[in-house]
Every structure is written in C-alpha cells, then in structure tokens.
Amino acid sequence: MYKRVLLKLSGEALSGEGGKGFSEKMLTYLVNEIQKIHSLNIKLGIVIGAGNIFRGKELKDFRIQMADQLGMLGTVINSLYLKNVFEKKGIKSIVVSPIVNLPSVMPLKYDFIEQYFEAGYIVLFGGGTSNPLFTTDTAAALRAIEMNADILVKATKVDGIYNKDPKLFEDAKKYDIITYEQAIKEQIKVMDTEAFSICEKNNLSILIINFFKEGNLLKAIEGENIGTKVNY
Ligand SMILES: Nc1ncnc2c1ncn2[C@@H]1O[C@H](COP(=O)(O)OP(=O)(O)O)[C@@H](O)[C@H]1O
Ligand SMILES: O=c1ccn([C@@H]2O[C@H](COP(=O)(O)OP(=O)(O)O)[C@@H](O)[C@H]2O)c(=O)[nH]1
C-alpha cells in the first residue's frame, strides 16, 4: 500500500465529466472516494485543476498568460471549495498556495507541510505551479516530489494510457505499464511531457486511473494495477 500519495484531480471531478461549476452529486461521490483512502491514515496531498471553471486555452480572446492566471485562481477556488466540503464531513484539510494571500490559505512552506500531515490534515495544493503556460499536471509532479510522495495518482476520465486516444479511436490498446521514455517518445497526451519529465528525473512513478469508477482510488492506493503505471 502507498503511504504518501499526491492525488491529481481534474476540475471535472467537481462538476462531472465535461461540466462546469459544482455538482452536488459529484461532490458527494468525491468525498466518499476520499473518505475510503483517508481512513487508511495515509499522508495525502491533492492538486486540483480548474477545468470546471477556466482552462486558459478555452479563453480564446485572452492573451494566454492572462487566461492562465484566471485558471490558476480557479484552482485556489476549487481547493477552498473542497476544504469546505471536507469540513462538513469531518475530514480535516488545509489549503496551501504560493499565489494568494487569504485568511484560509497557507503559504507553501515545506516544513509546515510535514506538520500538517503529522496532524492528520489532507493538504490541498492550490495555484498550480504559480506560473502561466503550465498545467496542474505539472504542478502535481512538483508537489509530489516536494512532499516526497511514493506515488502520483492522476485520477482522470480514462482508465489508463492507450497507444492512441481511446476517446477518439475505438481500437486503442491499453498499456498496464509504460516507461517515461516510451510515454514521451509516443507523445502520450493524457499528461504533460513536463510532468512526465519531472517524475522521471526524480524516480517517481505515476498511476493513471479512472476517477469516475467507484472504488478505483482505494484500489490504486492499495497497489492494485487497475490503470496504467508509468515507471522510470
Ligand atoms: N494515449 C492516450 N491514452 C489515454 N488518454 C489519452 C491519450 N491521448 C489523449 N488522451 C486523452 O487525455 C484525456 C485526459 O487528459 P486531460 O484532459 O488532461 O485530463 P484531466 O482534465 O483529468 O487533467 C482523456 O480525455 C483522453 O481522451
Ligand atoms: O501551473 C499552472 C497550472 C494551471 N494553470 C492554468 O490553470 C488552468 C486549470 O488547470 P488544468 O487545465 O490543469 O485543469 P484540469 O484540466 O486538470 O481541470 C490551466 O488550463 C491553466 O490555464 C497555469 O497557468 N499554470
């Protein structure tokens, strides 16, 4: 079983696949899935995207660096939203972000993060990498290394990595395991090359799993190979 986990969730985990905003049904589902792993006493960090609010590249009339700042703020909104949802269910969490100064947002300080974990908090890392032109996949890779995670779990809307996009090609074939070298060479689009590269350099594996299948997150943390594992 993995003991220190960085979980990357798409903003769509809050809205439902392809949706915008926040869905009560999805939030209930999400909290139930998190509760299952939180009860295992693992150290859990979460990076959440903002696809349910803004993705920079969706704002066509904006300069990309402006649009991306809205996206990054969206990840802080989602982190705070999630903190509130967790709180109502008795799950302790703390929002950490280098990009905003708000009463409920802590600055990113490595020493404090360890203390939050020791005190049983889930750490919600908001604000992405704090730079435009990146995505939350890359932020997840950075935070995973920084928190010394033993796995990065990307919980998304496909059940792993295929030889081509399974949403576009019916005959796509799934990999159970793939190396970073192969994923980068084949230009696999399920995750940014930057994220793959950071994890490869720092000897951290990634698990790609389908978030929308009940029980998957728990199975992944328990070490079951239900998606695709990207190995260094
Ligand atoms: N080779 C591939 N294997 C799996 N998924 C792929 C592949 N190429 C493209 N995709 C697409 O990547 C998408 C997941 O990535 P992304 O949209 O960045 O997810 P998220 O919003 O969860 O970060 C899926 O919708 C899938 O259609
Ligand atoms: O380091 C980062 C992380 C995110 N973003 C912006 O925030 C948006 C939301 O993140 P992402 O697209 O990764 O969200 P997801 O698809 O996972 O919901 C991105 O599209 C970017 O516009 C950014 O500029 N820098």
pLDDT tens track for 110-126: 999 999 999 999 999 99
Predicted local distance difference test score (pLDDT) of residue 186 = 93
Predicted local distance difference test score (pLDDT) of residue 61 = 94
Question: Is residue 225 very low, low, confident or very high in pLDDT (cuts 50, 70, 90)?
Answer: confident
d(CA 140, CA 129): 8
Query: According to the annotation, is 228 in a ligand binding site?
Result: no
> Does 78 sit in the ligand 2 pocket, CB within 6 Å?
no
pLDDT per residue over 33-65, tens digit each?
Answer: 999 999 999 999 999 999 999 999 999 999 999
Question: Is residue 209 very low, low, confident or very high in pLDDT (cuts 50, 70, 90)?
Answer: very high
d(CA 166, CA 49): 22
d(CA 201, CA 205): 10
> Does 166 sit in the ligand 1 pocket, CB within 6 Å?
yes
Residue pair 145/204 in contact by the 8 Å Cβ criterion: yes
Residues 6+ apart with CB under 8 A from 155: 7, 8, 9, 10, 13, 209, 210, 211, 216, 217, 220
In this structure, the dihedral spanned by the alpha carbons of residues 194, 11, 154 and 101, taken in order and rounded to 10 degrees, is 60
pLDDT per residue over 87-111, tens digit each?
Answer: 999 999 999 999 999 999 999 999 9
Which tokens go with 154? Answer: 């990307």
Supply the ipTM of this predicted assembly: 0.96
Question: Is residue 184 very low, low, confident or very high in pLDDT (cuts 50, 70, 90)?
Answer: very high
Residue found by looking up tokens 């139930």 in the block:
32
* pLDDT greater than 90 at residue 11: yes
Which tokens go with 2? Answer: 């993995």
The structure's pTM equals 0.97
Residues 6+ apart with CB under 8 A from 25: 16
- Ligand 2 atom closest to Cα of 56? 22
Mean pLDDT of 17-39: 96
Q: What DSSP assignment string belongs to 116-178?
A: HHHTTPEEEE-STTSSTT--HHHHHHHHHHHTT-SEEEEEESSSS-BSS-TTT-TT--B-SEE
Q: Classify domain 4-230 by CATH number.
A: 3.40.1160.10
> Does 188 sit in the ligand 1 pocket, CB within 6 Å?
yes
**Pocket probe mutation, ligand 2, options 135, 157, 192, 212, max atoms within 8 Å of Cβ:** 135
**Closest by CA position to 169, among listed 151, 189, 145, 198:** 189
% the chain with pLDDT above 70: 100
* pLDDT greater than 90 at residue 215: yes
Residue pair 143/97 in contact by the 8 Å Cβ criterion: no
